[in-house]
């Protein structure tokens, strides 16, 4: 993919799942990458794998750093931006991918504390991370990709109420950001993945049999049958939106769901 080599990229939530797959793809294309998360050992694993991926692809000059911490904390967001600029000299791409999900959140049962935690993590911290990075993204005419979800389209029957609300907010926020930041040459888009078996869902479904059953529901309901839904599918869409090939794409949302949402609603979430 042209135009990605030596770009300076931040991928939040890259200690596992879709974020890790995204960081590895950027590393394989010769980018300098900042990986972020709260779990030190998982983050170190991503960092090592990025280095290996770059070496395998002959990118010997690529640099990688990790920034540990909770992105709901303003000091951590500042640190992510400052450490990236210090290490690489600029920021070309910001991928805001981090999120949490808590089962059992319904309109009737959600507590104020649980609501704040989800909205702060999944929506607010992504806004203020971008705000901190804007001066650098303006200089580089950079771009931003948020990771939303097909959950943004629909109200779930049980659970994940605040998660879906935050994702719906994210989709709208991306359109406002594209309008506000377009004159600075900054593009903003989001990617909306379907179900992928990652840690976020393993924590929602600790029973592997239940998780497999849930995965089968999605497979059966997806019109594009028989294709895998792995972290790589959304990661590839993220990398495309970050590339120069997407230079006129801003304010958009790219579904990676095998046409599932053309039906109007996914299978039951919880």
Ligand X SMILES: NC(=O)c1ccc[n+]([C@@H]2O[C@H](COP(=O)([O-])OP(=O)(O)OC[C@H]3O[C@@H](n4cnc5c(N)ncnc54)[C@H](OP(=O)(O)O)[C@@H]3O)[C@@H](O)[C@H]2O)c1
| Residues engaged in binding ligand X (CB under 6 A) | 13-19, 37-39, 42, 70-72, 97-100, 121, 147, 149, 193, 195-196, 198-201
- Of 4 and 35, the one with the shorter C-beta distance to ligand X is 35
* Helix or strand run (H / E) with residue 210: helix 208-221
Q: Which residues lie closer than 8 Å to 54 by C-beta, 6 or more apart? A: 27, 28, 30, 60, 62, 64
- Of 110 and 138, the one with the shorter C-beta distance to ligand X is 110
Q: Is 206 helix (H, G, I), strand (E, B) or coil?
A: coil
- Of 59 and 80, the one with the shorter C-beta distance to ligand X is 80
Dihedrals phi, psi of 191, to nearest 5 degrees: -120, 135
The residues that are catalytic are: 163
Least distance to ligand X from the beta carbon of 170, Å?
9
- Of 88 and 163, the one with the shorter C-beta distance to ligand X is 163
CA distance 261 to 254: 12
Least distance to ligand X from the beta carbon of 101, Å?
7
Question: Which residue bears the tokens 């089968």?
Answer: 216
CA distance 234 to 162: 22
Point out the residue whose Cβ comes nearest to ligand X: 17
Least distance to ligand X from the beta carbon of 38, Å?
3
Question: Which residue bears the tokens 């931003």?
Answer: 144
Dig out the tokens for 10 from the structure: 């931040």
Dig out the tokens for 65 from the structure: 């750093």
Distances (CA, A) of 27 to 4, 10, 179, 251: 10, 11, 30, 26
Least distance to ligand X from the beta carbon of 48, Å?
15
Least distance to ligand X from the beta carbon of 193, Å?
4
- Of 2 and 206, the one with the shorter C-beta distance to ligand X is 206
CA 19 to chain centre: 6
């Amino acid at each position: 993919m042209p135009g990605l080599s030596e770009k300076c990229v931040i991928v939040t939530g890259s200690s596992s799942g879709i974020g890790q797959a995204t960081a590895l793809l950027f590393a394989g294309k010769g980018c300098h990458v900042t990986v972020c998360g709260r779990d030190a050992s998982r983050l170190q694993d991503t960092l090592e794998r990025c280095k290996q991926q770059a070496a395998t692809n002959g990118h010997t000059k690529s640099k990688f750093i990790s920034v540990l911490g909770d992105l709901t904390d303003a000091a951590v967001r500042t640190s992510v931006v400052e450490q990236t600029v210090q290490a690489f000299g600029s920021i070309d791409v910001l991928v805001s991918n981090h999120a949490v999900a808590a089962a059992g959140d319904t309109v009737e049962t959600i507590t104020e504390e649980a609501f704040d935690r989800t909205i702060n993590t999944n929506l607010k911290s992504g806004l203020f991370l971008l705000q901190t990075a804007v001066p650098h993204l303006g200089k580089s005419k950079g771009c931003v990709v948020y990771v939303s979800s097909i959950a943004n389209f629909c109200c779930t029957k049980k659970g994940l109420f605040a998660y879906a609300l935050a994702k719906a907010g994210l989709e709208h926020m991306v359109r406002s950001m594209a309008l506000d930041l377009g004159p600075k040459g900054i593009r903003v888009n989001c990617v909306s993945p379907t179900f992928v078996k990652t840690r976020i869902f393993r924590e929602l479904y600790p029973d592997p049999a239940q998780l497999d059953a849930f995965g089968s529901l999605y497979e059966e309901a997806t019109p594009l049958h028989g294709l895998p839904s792995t972290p790589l599918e959304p990661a590839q869409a993220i990398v495309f939106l970050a590339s120069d090939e997407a230079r006129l794409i801003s304010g958009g949302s790219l579904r990676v769901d095998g046409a599932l949402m053309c039906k109007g609603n996914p299978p039951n979430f919880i």
